[in-house]
Structure 1
Amino acid sequence: MAAMIGHHDAETAFLEAWTAGRMHHGWLLAGPQGMGKAAFAARAARFLVTHGRGGEGARIALDDPGDTAADRLVAAGNHPEILPLTRQAKDKSKELARNITIDQVRDLKARLHFSLSLGEWRVIIVDAIDDLEPSASNALLKTLEEPPARTLFLLISHSPGRLLPTIRSRCRTLRFQPVDRDAMTAWLHDLRPMLDMAEVRAIVAASGGVPGKALALIDSDVAATEKKLLAIAASGDPGNRLREALAREVGGTANRARLELVIDIVPGLLARLARERPVAEMAPVLEQWDRVQRTVRDAVRGSYDGAMVGFEIGNCLAELAPRATEAAR
């Protein structure tokens, strides 16, 4: 398994605080969904409960081994001082509740009154703090303002700008930025060496530099989907056959993941088509790129009819066929 990617700056900042003995009690892990913030939080929590208080000045890595007995508890998922706060399943169903509730935060706060039973740190992982209902956010804020000793909060946020400013102000922020294309390509090739490099590049382009999205795209047959989209752009689909097939593939709730894949792929595909054309012929591609973006924005604001969105994306691609672009001139 290839190493994690996109965590280097966050790891450095976190470990520098630990080795200097200046560990802030609240850390906001901010960045796009799929950047590995939850994985980082799990690694940071494991590190803290298996090592000492810090301030030792020694060079160390986040995945270095610590106390063996504590490490076994972490691996088993039952270390008493790692407390997760996440959305819970509704009743006996597998569907998750919409929010993290005030009752969950109250239960957590009650546990914080107990003394540490093992090790030097207690770690609370909130995944994601964006999911807290308003009353729960206010309750958690009170704990952040007056944190118990040797208690550290790791708050995962996909949309930090939407959080209470008072929560952000109580935390030190670690930003997880999209990874650049060359690094993503090398990482993905190392992770899945059996993939054709053309497919790797297509996945990287569609992922937007988000490793989690790239991993999800591996299982989505990106090459086959891209081939269908390029066929529309090449032929213009005069009988609408290809566009209708695309609409069927992405329509309905059951095909939402396929629609999202198409939405992810198309911008990179249009960018590639633009690069392949002379400068004087790039305008139609840019025009359709804007049209695709408007279509997606309108879909998100409206009822999100997948078949309609898929057909309209097909229309945008059909406009790029040689006959269509020549007629436009």
Structure 2
Amino acid sequence: MSEEKAGLLDGAVAPALNTRLFGHAEAEEFLARSYKSGKGHHAVLIEGPEGIGKATLAFRFANHILRHPDPLSAPEAIEDPDPEHPISRQIASGASHNLLHLSRPVDEKTGRVKQAITVDEVRKAGHFFSQTSGTGNWRIVIIDPADDLNRNAANAILKILEEPPKRAMFLVLSHAPGKLLPTIRSRCLPLRLHELSPTAMDQALGQLGLSMPTEKREAVLSLAKGSVARALKLVNYGGADILEAFEQMLASSGPSQRKMMFKIADALSGKDSDVAFGFFIEHLGDHLAETARQFAHAGNLAAAEHYARLTSTIGEQLTVAGAYNLDRKQTILDVLAAVTR
């Protein structure tokens, strides 16, 4: 099943179903201690790169709270969720009356995940709190990720954060917290998660059973940069081949370069290629930013400015192409041509 239709990468385990978390023991310990103290913050901003376990941590903590509603008698550590426990089953099925997971909704017409979390989704939080206000239970909202909130939705969340209901907990996830409204960040306790270590990556990928040729494993782990999601995109979505073609394109010229450009464009404009396309665009942005930094450090300010402007120009070009549903293959060819000039 494709990510654009289900919001989940091929080979991944939905965070609500995931019973294991690797590489974030200190963050778990902090959350457990904070909750047990009875003085924990009502909103935690769990920030860090995509695909390192932020959502899994949020669901584990939510499970911990709902299983131990009295903070003072809660265990000092967060245990792996028991899939057979009623609360775990409710969370896994999305049937918990005390947990609301806000994410980009699926467009009923296209079956694809929308580009943003809308204000209509945030209104569900208000309804959620009003329905459960008399039960005395904890009510937990996971915003996954808050980066996807559009302006109206962000303002609506802010109003709830400013006057949170009693025994309410917000777990706000963010890949890029600098893009969030400063007022949202200021009302959350920040908890920074880092890229997974090589050991944690091995454990996480082993848990998923990700299969890759031995000779490619080291290269994939290096390119994954401590992100399980990135590793899945490299292996299950052709990301490694796309990046290899991109490097060959940059190193070549003439007909050979043109051949690589078409190879990349074909791979990124085929059926169910949205994940690969997003992966490549992210990589391209990183490449241009790094190139600009290298030129700046070398004292070539003109070249640095060129690549900085190119980043902005390509971003605008992609936005327009998406807004008007322009031919993706031609858009990619135009972008690659701009990079190679």
TM-score, structure 1 as length reference = 0.71
| Offset of residue 140 of structure 1 | 2.2
Residue 19 (structure 1) aligned with residue 36 (structure 2)? yes
Mapping of residues 156-171 of structure 1, within 5 Å: 156-171=173-188
Percent identity, aligned pairs only, is 28
Mapping of residues 308-319 of structure 1, within 5 Å: 308-309=334-335
* Counterpart residue number, 2:158: 141
In structure 2, what is the Cα distance between the partners aligned to 1:83 and 1:29?
A: 16
In structure 1, what is the Cα distance between the partners aligned to 2:59 and 2:183?
A: 25
SS in 1 for 2:77: coil
| Offset of residue 106 of structure 1 | 3.5
Q: Call closer, same or farther: CA 1:75–1:57 in 2, change over 3 Å.
A: closer
Q: Does the 8 A contact of 1:178 with 1:210 survive in 2?
A: yes
* Counterpart residue number, 2:10: none
In structure 2, what is the Cα distance between the partners aligned to 1:261 and 1:133?
A: 21
Residue 34 (structure 1) aligned with residue 51 (structure 2)? yes
Mapping of residues 191-270 of structure 1, within 5 Å: 191-192=208-209, 194-221=211-238, 239-240=255-256, 242-243=259-260, 245-250=262-267, 252=269, 254=271, 255=273, 257-258=275-276
SS in 1 for 2:72: coil
SS in 2 for 1:112: helix
Q: Does the 8 A contact of 2:248 with 2:260 survive in 1?
A: no
Mapping of residues 1-329 of structure 1, within 5 Å: 3-56=20-73, 58-65=75-82, 68-115=85-132, 120-181=137-198, 183-185=200-202, 187-188=204-205, 191-192=208-209, 194-221=211-238, 239-240=255-256, 242-243=259-260, 245-250=262-267, 252=269, 254=271, 255=273, 257-258=275-276, 299-303=314-318, 305-309=331-335
| Offset of residue 301 of structure 1 | 4.0
In structure 2, what is the Cα distance between the partners aligned to 1:108 and 1:217?
A: 35
In structure 2, what is the Cα distance between the partners aligned to 1:93 and 1:226?
A: 29
Q: Does the 8 A contact of 1:18 with 1:54 survive in 2?
A: yes
Task: Please identify the structure whose Cα radius of gyration is greater.
Answer: 1
TM-score, structure 2 as length reference = 0.69
Q: Call closer, same or farther: CA 1:190–1:86 in 2, change over 3 Å.
A: closer
Structure 2: runs of 5+ lacking an equivalent: 1-12, 14-18, 288-297, 299-304, 322-330
In structure 2, what is the Cα distance between the partners aligned to 1:261 and 1:107?
A: 31
Q: Identify the range of structure 1 (130-139 vs 18-27) with the bigger mean alpha-carbon deviation.
A: 130-139
Matched residue count? 297
RMSD: 4.1
Structure 1: runs of 5+ lacking an equivalent: 270-282, 284-289, 317-329
In structure 1, what is the Cα distance between the partners aligned to 2:274 and 2:209?
A: 25
